[in-house]
Amino acid sequence: MRIDNLQYANWSEKIFRQLREGGVDAIHVTIAYHENFRETVLNFEKWNRWFEQYPDLIMKGQWAADIDAARKTGRTAIFFGFQNPSPIEDDIGLVEIVHTLGARFMQLTYNNQSLLATGCYEAEDIGITRMGKHVIKEMNRVGLVVDMSHSADRSTIEAAEISERPIAITHANPYSWAPALRNKKDDVIRAVTDNGGMLGFSVYPHHLKDKSDCTLESFCEMIARTADKFGTCNLGIGTDLCQDQPDTIVEWMRVGRWTKEIDYGEGSASAPGFPEMPNWFRDNRDFGNIENGLKAVGFSEEEVAGIMGRNWYNFYAENFTPAS
């Protein structure tokens, strides 16, 4: 089983076919960065049309059982998530609505301060806000997973403590291995995993040691050292693959509507653009390289199976359904 818990590709039949060639059973795809509710609904609609156009390649995923159905029929299950709480605007009632539409993950922040929490680019981390506490409770109730991938340290730790269900860092790496603002310090990872949450390892070059020149061995050794500290059951993959996207999309991701200036972000000295991917992971056909790399650094077959997908599958099974 192979599950990638974060992609934001420029979707096309080519990529859908590569998913099948790479044996990817499920992916969590971003369908909102700064979109409001209505704009996000249009993104759901766009995906509904792709499901109609390519029924032999992809299917909508809502529950873990949909991954089983996808595997039986040779397709990839598509799960939806937001990298910002902007789709719920300032209305807690929309949490249940977006879950009904198919959203399964929602970040409480995207780099900046939001109505719910503090982003990792802010100088001061005030933690989870009053609204954030109520929204987390509502997300727990309906089965919308709290994602803190772009959130600051205090906010992430507080979210893990406040949430009555496990939360996730869907795409990031340990700060101790690659000190980027978006990567997570050990106390943050511990707060998430100790409460049953998941960490998905990213292959986005700005979050890798040596960036685009990062080696497969270095990446897999990093996963091994993380497993030494936190165990293997709460670790998975969240590549943050942005395949075939034009560089202008980076500007939308970082800037949205909150500034008139260019936010260069991490790793950029000039206009925003996508960095070159490491040579061992160009697209969805390369998951076998990660699998082989994990075996080479000493993981057992069972541990590799967990990291490559089974751990995310178990997490989906426990956390996408409404609270009992």
CATH number at residue 47: 3.20.20.140
Domain assignment present for 324 = no
57 is written with which tokens?
């390649």
The mean pLDDT values, 10 residues at a time, for the chain of 324 residues are 97 98 98 97 98 98 98 98 98 98 98 97 97 98 98 98 98 97 97 98 96 97 98 98 89 85 64 86 98 98 98 98 92
Domain assignment present for 155 = yes
* Longest CA pairwise span in the chain (Å): 50
307 is written with which tokens?
């990291």
Q: 248-302: per-residue pLDDT in tens?
A: 888 888 888 888 887 766 655 556 678 899 999 999 999 999 999 999 999 999 9
Range of the domain at 311: 3-319
pLDDT confidence of residue 267: 53
Give how many domains the chain has, as a whole number: 1
pLDDT confidence of residue 255: 86
Whole-model pTM?
0.96
Domain assignment present for 297 = yes
Residue located via tokens 């990638």: 4
Domain assignment present for 302 = yes
From CA 315, how far away is CA 324, in angstroms rounded?
16
Domain assignment present for 169 = yes
pLDDT confidence of residue 273: 78
Domain assignment present for 170 = yes
pLDDT confidence of residue 283: 97
pLDDT confidence of residue 206: 92
- Alpha-carbon torsion (137, 143, 54, 22), positive or negative: positive
